[in-house]
Structure 1
Amino acid sequence: MPNLRAIETFVKALEGGSIASAARQLGISPAAASQNIARLERELGTRLITRTTRSMALTEAGERYLARVAPVLDELEKAQSDLSLIHGELQGRLRIACMAAFGRHVLAPLLPAFTARHPRLELELLITDRHVDVLKEDVDLSVRYRDVLEPGMSVRQLVSVPRRLYAAPQYLQQHGSPQTAQDLLGHACLLYRRERDGRLMRWPFLRDGQRADPQQRIAAIGSDIDALTEFAVAGGGIVWAGSFIVHDHVRQGRLLPLTLKPGRKGLLQFDDAPLDFFACFRDRQYVPTKVRALVDYLLLELPQQTKLS
């Protein structure tokens, strides 16, 4: 009977689109992963995958074999997860993908207490703003904000975070403090460009309840919100950011939150809608015990974070 590790390598390679992807997921070298698949093909006496230097494709036999073994392997992984608490301990690898700023400022500081409770868990953090394919990259849980949720994802809201305009005291002393949304158009605006799709995140202006896109005076554009925040701290302009990013700067007086007066009918207003973060699951039908435990922990601990208010 073929070796289970070889079958796992074969399935992971097809899920991830490459042998290198399977190797990363399994923590082995690409050469070892390739040898596992070759060994499986020898034991089965048939070619499962046709490979070139740039691509791989299933043979007819490979398609039939994958259809049979992939569900079995999935059930084995679920069974292992469900048994992880049989001795009162979560165990195994838990791979988490998270938007960069939230992962850096909020998630990472919370996780040591979770791992202290579950020392047999092996956490792997993928902290990035690029698009993450949870299946191909074998991610157990991803944390995303509302704007980048994909249709059909199984999600659970974790926390709602205030998002406001901030500027350094020296900037406001030199340029004055904007009183209305209309005033913002005359100020140096720091805008964020989303890494995952290159979209420029313009500020949420409204006119009579409808989204408006007035011409802003852009002082700088950045793909890292922390860098834009430091730009603002140095007096370079006004930044629009989540409270968890600027918390320490505000507490120490390096940045001040701006409060705008409501605009009259027909004039610009600024929409201070919060930033909602969600736990996103790779399988809506089955959530492993270790993933449920982490989400429950985050739901309990996140509201206690003063930096989120």
Structure 2
Amino acid sequence: MPNLRAIETFVKALEGGSIASAARQLGISPAAASQNISRLERELGTRLITRTTRSMALTEAGERYLSRVAPVLDELEKAQSDASQVHGELHGRLRVACMAAFGRHILAPLLPAFAHRHPQVNLELLVTDRHVHVLKEDVDISICYRDVLEPGMSVRPLAAVPRILCASPEYLRRHGYPQVAEDLLQHACLLYRRERDGRFMRWPFTRDGQRVDPPLRIAAIGTDIDTVTEFAVSGGGITWVGTFVARHHIQEGRLVPLILKPPRKRHKGQLAFEDDTLDFFACFRDRKYVPTKVRAFVDYLLETLPGHPSLERLPNEAEWGRADFPPLTPNTPYP
């Protein structure tokens, strides 16, 4: 009977799209992974994969073999995961991918308590704003926001994060405080561009209830939201970010939250800036089966995220007190 490790290497290579991907998932060298597949082909007496320097493709025999062994290997992995609990303890590696800012500000501070609760789980955190291929990169769970959810993934809502417009006191001294949405068109705007697809994070402008994209004066664009925020802290313009990114800057006086007045209802055609949230989800690669350690991690997040101070809305205009943030016209220097 062919070696189980060789079968696993063959299946992982096809799932990940390369022998190198299989090697990474299995913790072996690419040369060892290639040898495993060659050994499997010799034992079966047939070629399973046609390989070139840049790609690989299944042969007809390889397609038939993969269709039979992949489900079996999947069931073995599930059985191993379920059996890995010894006296109720979770075991094994848990690889979590998440958006950079969420990982930096929210997830990382929560991980020590989870690790203490489950000391036999080896946590691996992949923090990036690029596209993460869950299968190729052997990710157990991916945390991302609604706009970048992948079709076909099983998802679980985690948190709805308020977002806020803000600028530095220095910028407001020089350029004034915007009062209504229309005023933003005369200010330097700092935008976030998603690294995974190159698209801008649209600001929530509406006109008569319809989403619109008015012409903004774009002062800078960044693919890392913390970098964009630091640009705002340094007086570069106005940005729109999640409260979990802006909160400590606001509390320490480096940023000022901007509270815009709503448009008058009787005036049609007025521009509005609608508050909305950044909705984060836990994404799984298998709809039918969620490993116990993944389920435990999601349950932990659902337990700890509600009430997390960095995810709550910032105090409103009255609660902040206008002694700190006085209302100004767009042309009035900030005191």
Cα distance in 2 between the residues matched to 1:109 and 1:179: 36
CA distance in 1, matches of 2:229, 2:25: 35
Distance in 1 between the 2:166 and 2:84 partners? 46
Aligned mates of 2:215, 2:51 — CA distance in 1 = 52
Q: 1:198 and 2:201 equivalent? A: no
Single out whichever of 13-22 and 264-273 deviates more from structure 2: 264-273
Match in the other structure for 2:29? 29
Tell me the SS of whatever aligns to 1:97. Answer: strand
Cα distance between partner residues in 1 of 2:271 and 2:297: 42
Counterpart residue number, 1:258: 258
1:110 counterpart SS class: helix
Q: CA deviation at 1:304?
A: 3.0
Give the distance between the partners of 1:54 and 1:150, measured in 2 at CA.
26
* 2:124 counterpart SS class: strand
- Who is 1:174 aligned against? 174
Measured in 2, the distance between the counterparts of 1:54 and 1:213 equals 42
Cross-structure match for 1:289 = 292
* Residue equivalent to 1:245: 245
Once superposed, what is the RMSD of the aligned Cα atoms? Answer: 1.1
Query: How far apart, in 2, do the equivalents of 1:76 and 1:51 lie?
Result: 27
1:223 maps to which residue?
223
Partners of 2:150 and 2:42 lie apart in 1 by: 40
What residue is the counterpart of 2:19 in the other structure? 19
Residues 89-113 of structure 1 show CA distances to partners (whole Å, capped at 9, x for unaligned) of: 1111111111111111111111111
Query: Percentage identity across aligned positions?
Result: 78
1:300 is matched with: 303
Q: How does 1:41-80 map to 2 (within 5 A)?
A: 41-80=41-80
Q: Which moved more, 1:84-93 or 1:210-219?
A: 84-93
| Structure 2: distance between partners of 1:192 and 1:172 | 21
Superposed displacement of residue 64, structure 1: 1.2
The separation in 1 between residues aligned to 2:299 and 2:201, in whole angstroms, is: 31
Larger Rg: 2
Q: Deviations over 1:140-166 (max 9, x none)?
A: 111110111123321110011110101
- In structure 1, how many angstroms separate the alpha carbons of the residues matched to 2:14 and 2:73? 13
d(CA) in 1 for partners of 2:27 and 2:274? 46
| CA distance in structure 1 between the aligned counterparts of 2:90 and 2:277, rounded to whole angstroms | 34
- Aligned mate of 1:279, from 277, 282, 297: 282
Q: Give the structure 2 partner of residue 88 of structure 1.
A: 88
Paired residue type of 1:47: R
Segments of structure 1 that go 5 or more residues without pairing to the other structure are none
Give the TM-score, by structure 1 length.
0.98
> Distance between the aligned counterparts of 1:13 and 1:208, measured in 2?
52
CA–CA distance in structure 2, aligned partners of residues 20 and 213 of structure 1: 43
* Structure 2 letter corresponding to 1:293: A
Say which is worse superposed, 34-43 or 175-184, in terms of deviation: 34-43
SS of match in other structure, 1:196: coil
Q: How does 1:133-144 map to 2 (within 5 A)?
A: 133-144=133-144
Partner deviation per Cα, 1:3-37 (whole Å, 9 max, x = no partner): 11111110000000100000111111111111111
State the one-letter code of the partner of 2:305: L
User: In 2, distance between residues paired with 1:61 and 1:112?
Assistant: 48
Does 2:109 match 1:109? yes
Q: Distance in 2 between matches of 1:304 and 1:270?
A: 26
Structure 1 counterpart of 2:332: none
- Give the drift of 1:87: 2.2
Equivalent residues, number: 309
